Amino acid sequence: MRSITLFAPATVANVSCGFDLLGFALESVGDQMLIRENNVNQLRITKIEGQMLPMQTEQNVAGVAGLALLNQLNTKQGFDIEIYKKIKPGSGIGSSAASAAGAVFGLNELLGKPFSSIELVAFAMKGEALAGGAEHGDNVAPCLLGGFTLIQSYNPLRVVSLPTPEALSVVILHPQIEVKTADARNLLKQQVSLKKAVRQSGYLGGFVAGLFQNDYDLLAASLRDEWVESSRSVLIPAFDEMKAAALASGALGFGISGSGPSVFALCKGVEIAKKTAQAIRHVFDKTAIPYDLHHSEVNPQGIKTL
């Protein structure tokens, strides 16, 4: 039976100014998956290591995403999926996205690549809906395509790959607490003022322009969130203090990764990233909550075979 082993990277979604639209892939953190053909004409989750997650295909994000792909193709070929979780569910760095995207990527490879990358994003979003209650693509798109991605439209689905400035570096602090995506979405207001919508549109446009122009000052001026940060930051201990410390250390911006509790800082250069990491570590140590601290570059490739 043919098989494929792959690495599915963690991701940062929203990126402050692009709620449900903007995301990027990380280089240093991710899950591994093994997908192989079987002769029982079923898609099965046969092994999960690292986290306690549902083994039932219809209750696992990888299974739901994979079924969406197989049903569209109307194939009788069965597959077994093994998942080796390195990204903790509820971490805010795309745990469910890595599983969903990894499943559809691997199945597509084994089936001879019948679907485009954009079609794979749509299938993976079905898994995201199981995890968070909404078919959002800001994690699965960069996981599959690599680098920065922008969801220009959900209907029809249109994803734009964006450039990554060479000196951009990322710091991630992941508190060992869980914030469920569905719960975090329930905190959000369903309406925003026209003034805030205009300002937020300017931030997103400015950030995209900054990526294309390698303009770090424009990136710094655009990494702002007037929509969701104030509602979700209350779930993250010492958020305001960490943000102040990161910006004082020279970070371009600081915000919530996805729905949290992970936070991220984008920095120009490794030295500023190291300084920022030390600053936010110093702040968060006072909470006595265990955490992981990651330093990463932006992953230009996304999912890769091993």
Mean pLDDT in residue range 6-20: 96
Pairwise CA distance, residues 38 & 40, whole Å: 6
Which of 129, 162, 195 is the last residue before a domain boundary? Answer: 162
Percent of the chain with pLDDT over 90: 84
pLDDT band at 129 (very low <50, low <70, confident <90, very high): very high
Pairwise CA distance, residues 303 & 306, whole Å: 10
Could you write out the three-class secondary structure of 25-40?
EEEEEEEEEEEEEECC
What does the pLDDT read at residue 156?
Answer: 95
Residues 83 and 99: beta-carbon distance below 8 Å: yes
Which of 127, 162, 197 is the last residue before a domain boundary? Answer: 162
What's the longest Cα–Cα distance across the chain?
58
Tokens of 286: 């006072």
What does the pLDDT read at residue 78?
Answer: 97
pLDDT band at 259 (very low <50, low <70, confident <90, very high): confident
Whether 245 is in a domain gets the answer: yes
> How many folded domains does the chain comprise?
2
pTM of the model: 0.93
Domain range enclosing 23: 3-162
Whether 73 is in a domain gets the answer: yes
In whole numbers, what is the pLDDT of the chain averaged over residues?
94
Name beta bridge partners: 43: 79
Name beta bridge partners: 26: 298
Answer whether residue 183 shows pLDDT above 70: no
**Domain at 55, CATH number:** 3.30.230.10
* 61-65, 190-194, 259-263: least confident range: 190-194
Percent of the chain with pLDDT over 70: 96
- Which secondary-structure segment (H or E) carries 179? none
Task: Look at the block and give the residue holding tokens 């690292």.
Answer: 50
The SS3 assignment for 123 reads helix
CA-closest candidate to residue 16, choices 260, 249, 267, 226: 226
The SS3 assignment for 231 reads helix
For residue 166, give the DSSP letter: T
Q: Are strands 168-175 and 291-296 parallel, antiparallel or unpaired?
A: antiparallel
In sequence order, the 6+-apart residues with CB closer than 8 A to the CB of 53 are: 60, 83, 85, 89
Which of 112, 146, 162 is the last residue before a domain boundary? Answer: 162
Name beta bridge partners: 246: none
Residues 108 and 114: beta-carbon distance below 8 Å: yes
The residue type of 295 is H
Same domain, 101 and 136: yes
Mean pLDDT in residue range 92-113: 97
Residues 56 and 45: beta-carbon distance below 8 Å: yes
Same domain, 81 and 20: yes
What does the pLDDT read at residue 65?
Answer: 98
